[in-house]
Chains A and B, each alone.
Chain A
């Protein structure tokens, strides 16, 4: 079969992506936690016989880019070389170093045998509801506090479940039924890929996927390299400073563009910390690749070829390459800002493509916990997002999740699960960073405790001391703010809210793009009319009026 033919290749490639989407549907339909399903916090990937990514389901969030192939090539196939695998075997681990940097994500891999040899691997990762330890908290000192840690195991041997492992998982989790159910869904999803790949091979009379895989990689890789080649050679650097937990964290990136390849070097980045916000290498790499793909090739389906021209590195012991046992349950608080950092570095070479820093990176999570007057405990997280950064020709969208993709729980639903009244949820005028294209607006949320008793609130916030930066002359957005009765409070960790007391949360505004003086006057007037900027703001930021 001629895989160079632009019709044959398109047809077969579509089919491989479709196979991962079918597995995605099988997994998503059966996952227990609908919030995981709605936010698509899982991935299905089809890999070739060497563990390279052939196709990935269409809708996965950025954290999953390249994670599975890295896990398979670097870890799985070393622990379990192909000649030790049999049809019906299913491998799995939740070691955060091997997976995505936090233990709830279980990584599962199933070899696909055809005519006695492995032709491909089906893989999936899903966020399990609970694996013990402190759930998603930055308070852990090391990885051992974050939950159970399974090495790469054979969950099934030749189709027979290894019951001991299931028992260990069940006894380590607060939600054993749900976790075991989700694991079964993952097994089923991999089996959908196995079944569909075999049907595909029969239908097209192929013995393996090798030549097709090479055709896909070559086409993607040359497209990506072509996009890089249009950038001038050079080293483009940027840094950003984050609030961190008890001290500033500096992230530095030097983006080396050399002919048709890119290397991102995070030299100069702050050292790792004794909190669960360290970013394991796979999580960092996924976000580096995500940023580059947004800029250079936003449309083609993810596969090995897109990743080949792009590499990154970070100094050992830094917060972006911590030692293997460093805590990282809340690694998103730092990792989500990587795309903004790369956009900043490349702003001068790709001014029309980059987006200024976003207040949705990271997500602000507000966890209200306590005990109702009738003695029943409650605990539920409400998320808040800041504004998106400004973009060439477009203002940032207001209140947008980026780079992850999280829907917010409706107020009417949240108030059912937690004894609070959310009194306001509104845009903040003047919070969008001024620019030729301004940042998206942030929001103000007011949460009042009506439980009749004090309430513990756990805050995960960022950009309170260091606002979202603008690009190309654009100004920073308004910083975030958390207040309790008009007094600023610590923005990470626990706050105690007395009965009838209210917590005021202001997320960060997105950074602006381009000089505010160059903003079209009619846009300033529109914003004034709509109340998105105030008279005072228009005068101060745009010299208007």
Chain B
């Protein structure tokens, strides 16, 4: 059997896939001071429930917020940065651009390394690899002494042109390790060998900053699991593959979007099994909504992302990271988003959120402003008695009071105001989805939607109507979706190397060297994941551009061992056709160059299995309640079903409400739902 856990901010979700292909789920409260406690508690409880033992578990897959939270909450290790002398301010100078054009009070995320902990090593290598200034080793020893004296626990090294000419970084690494036993050293040439010094330095600094915490977490869990006799522990990266503990420990920055990536892998698993490959995954939680387009069951992978935004969701206000990550769009629309009167006296929703504390007014924890969840309660989508499976009773009167105050301010009837909030938040998510799909050159109305997260299934129907999507899937087990995704994730090791070259100047020897380097770089992690060479699939790609352009697009490559003339002509065709698809035209008469070479070495994709819940003889129809529907412009008496008691093949005509423990699916009057073979709710919109 296989086990998966997803450490979230509030809950740690677990899923166990038994040898019969049945999935059993479990949920425990997270323990942020030491996340491994909740993981172990959950695993022990889940094994007990199944009357199983650690030795029955062949493999364990983990997704974690340890890395993200260390960066967001600034709980990482004190870190030093060593750069080429003259560039110590690299993290402060940033890109020199602004993320907001009208806000004179704009502020940026503080760098993860204090200015005084940035050191310059005297050395300089040119763009062609000539050593202009040899490395001053005595100077490096002095830097090591200063690091030691300050008790700094982790060091990042990022030298100019170190993406390609790695000798000086490696020598600095050796000198530091020699003088600073126990201090972790992250070299940019190992973490992120990609051109563009600020992005690389930022990535290497984030890696160093989170490394002591993550490697401690990995070591502790591996030790505890070994005592229980389980199989190997593998970790989800931001790009949707799993890697062994050694990679998670040494390259923790790659785990920064671990949980969300696992959720997208679950959507991909659904896509493969249902034969419905083109999907929009829609994950709406308490503070944000995340949208991700999958084509042919696969998400797009972006070569970079940004975290720790100083201004909510504003690209450019945070820390750039050059890592492979599932490309998604995140907007400030969640259940906790606060509805308010905007500066021009119009209704506005978010991006301010009530979060978990005080939370929506209906949580009764002191929140006084109306949120999306409050409105969902008032409109009948949620019910005070069945929220979180009835374990948390909502306060309808408090929601009503908060809403009435806003309605008075806007001179609206409270009901009208509630409908407006629901409609506006759906509209914002629909617009984001349309942009996300358009950006990939896809008409969003041809996608199916898969909804999860606490609020996803509540809003999916309304959002789908606005986009023109005709099919919405609300999976069984939506509340533990990321954990389910982990069970299906393949081992995948991403490596890269910037070696800029014009396509015309490529030669066989160079291709061989690049291939050998990438394969060698991937090998240790593959070995640690106990993957035999025969089971590995190598996928090569490259970031390419027309000579003279400033930014690249990623193109899939043929095997690098293809004969040179065939190789270059195939690459040229692939580049031109991708360029045409993305940008709608070709550029004639300009050369093409490769900037960065990439390899993904992956194992087989797992199978997710089907969720099983205890046999349930209870009546699926729980009752009826009045629910507001825009199409009817009125409250309609609506049947409420228990998702766990529905059988495959069962049909439900809209309007209807289908409740799970962690979420509620809404089917409007022009929707018609069917339970598929895995008892996922599939809603067709007419």
Among A22-30, A243-251, A263-271, A482-490, which stretch is in contact with chain B? A22-30
How many interface residues does B have (CB within 8 Å)?
A: 72
B229 at the interface (CB under 8 A from A): no
**B102, A294: Cβ atoms closer than 8 Å:** yes
Is A399's CB under 8 angstroms from B93's CB? Answer: yes
B344 touches A223 (CB 8 A): yes
Q: Is B528 an interface residue (CB 8 A)?
A: no
Given contacts A22-B438, A423-B124, contact A293 B348 (CB under 8 A): no
Decide yes or no whether B98 CB sits under 8 A from chain A: yes
Determine if A407 is an interface residue (Cβ-Cβ < 8 Å).
yes
> Beta-carbon contacts of B82-112 to A below 8 Å, as 1s and 0s?
0001111110111111100111111110000
A453 contacts chain B at the CB level, 8 A cutoff = no
Q: Which of A53-75 contact B (CB under 8 A)?
A: 59, 61-62
* A400 at interface by CB-CB < 8 Å: yes
B550 and A413 contact, CB distance less than 8 A = yes
Partner of B89, one of A5, A294, A427: A427
Q: Would you call B500 an interface residue if the criterion is a C-beta within 8 Å of the partner chain's C-beta atoms? A: yes
Q: A397-B108, A412-B127 are in contact. Are A299 and B343 (CB under 8 A)?
A: yes
Contact B98 A400 (CB under 8 A): yes
**How distant is A337 from chain B, measured CB to nearest CB, in Å?**
15
* A6 lies within 8 A of B410 (CB): yes
Is B589 close to A, CB under 8 A?
yes
Q: Kindly list chain A residues whose C-beta atoms are within 8 Å of the C-beta of B96.
A: 360, 383-385, 399-401, 406-408
Residues in chain B near residue A427, CB distance under 8 A: 89, 92-93
Q: List A contacts of B438 (CB < 8 A).
A: 22, 25-26
A142 to B160, CA, bound (A): 43
Is the C-beta of B149 less than 8 angstroms from some C-beta in chain A?
no
Within 8 A of B (CB), among A186-214: 188
- Indicate whether B195 reaches chain A with its CB closer than 8 angstroms: yes
| Contact indicator B132/A421 (Cβ below 8 Å) | yes
* Mask of A280-318 contacts with B, CB within 8 angstroms, 1/0: 000000000000011101111000000000000000000
Give min CB distance, B240 to chain A, whole Å. 25
Residues of A within 8 A of B90 (CB): 425
Stretch at the interface among B372-380, B481-489, B577-585: B577-585
Which of B10-18, B176-184, B416-424 interfaces with chain A?
Answer: B416-424
- A529 within 8 Å of B by Cβ? yes
Beta-carbon nearest neighbor of A409 in chain B:
B550
Query: Hey, which chain A residues are within 8 Å of B424, CB to CB?
Result: 7, 10-11, 14
- C-alpha gap A394/B410 in the complex (Å): 34
Q: Is the CB of B161 within 8 A of A412?
A: yes
B168 to chain A, nearest CB (A): 14
User: How distant is the Cα of A383 from the Cα of B97 in the complex, in angstroms?
Assistant: 11
> Given A424-B86, A426-B87, A530–B115 Cβ distance below 8 Å?
yes
Residues of B within 8 A of A520 (CB): none
Contact size range, A: 35 or more
Residues of A within 8 A of B500 (CB): 416
B549 within 8 A of A: yes
User: Would A446 and B115 count as touching, CB distance under 8 A?
Assistant: no
Interface check B520, CB cutoff 8 A: no
**Residues A38 and B551 in contact in the complex (CB < 8 Å), given A411-B160, A411-B197:** yes
| Chain B residues whose C-beta falls within 8 Å of the C-beta of A295 in the assembled complex | 104
Determine how close the nearest CB of chain A comes to the CB of B585; give it in whole angstroms.
5
* Interface: B347 (CB within 8 A): yes
Q: How far is the CB of B424 from chain A (nearest CB, A)?
A: 7
- Chain B residue numbers with a CB within 8 Å of A426 are 86-89, 93
A425 pairs with B93, CB closer than 8 A: yes
Whether the pair B103, A298 counts as a contact (CB closer than 8 A) is: yes
> A418 CB to closest chain B CB, in angstroms?
10
A496 at interface, CB cutoff 8 A: no
A6 touches which of B98, B347, B588 (Cβ 8 Å): B347
Confirm or deny: A185 has a beta carbon within 8 angstroms of a beta carbon on chain B: yes
Q: B534-548, CB under 8 A of A: which get 1 and which 0? A: 000000000001000
Residues of A within 8 A of B341 (CB): 6
Q: Is B439 an interface residue (CB 8 A)?
A: yes
Known: A6-B420, A30-B585, A32-B549. 13 other contacts (CB 8 A): A6-B412, A7-B420, A9-B346, A39-B97, A185-B584, A294-B104, A298-B103, A299-B342, A300-B344, A401-B97, A425-B87, A426-B87, A427-B93
14 example contacts (A-B, Cβ-Cβ < 8 A) are as follows A6-B346, A9-B346, A10-B420, A14-B427, A25-B439, A184-B585, A294-B104, A297-B343, A353-B104, A394-B105, A412-B196, A412-B197, A424-B87, A531-B115
List chain A positions with a Cβ less than 8 A from chain B: 5-7, 9-11, 13-14, 18, 21-22, 25-26, 29-30, 32-35, 37-39, 59, 61-62, 177-178, 181, 184-185, 188, 219-220, 223, 293-295, 297-300, 353-355, 360, 383-385, 391, 393-394, 397-403, 405-413, 415-416, 421, 423-427, 443, 446, 450, 529-532
Sorted from nearest, which 8 A-B pairs have the closest CB atoms? A424-B86, A7-B420, A298-B102, A10-B346, A6-B346, A415-B127, A34-B550, A34-B551
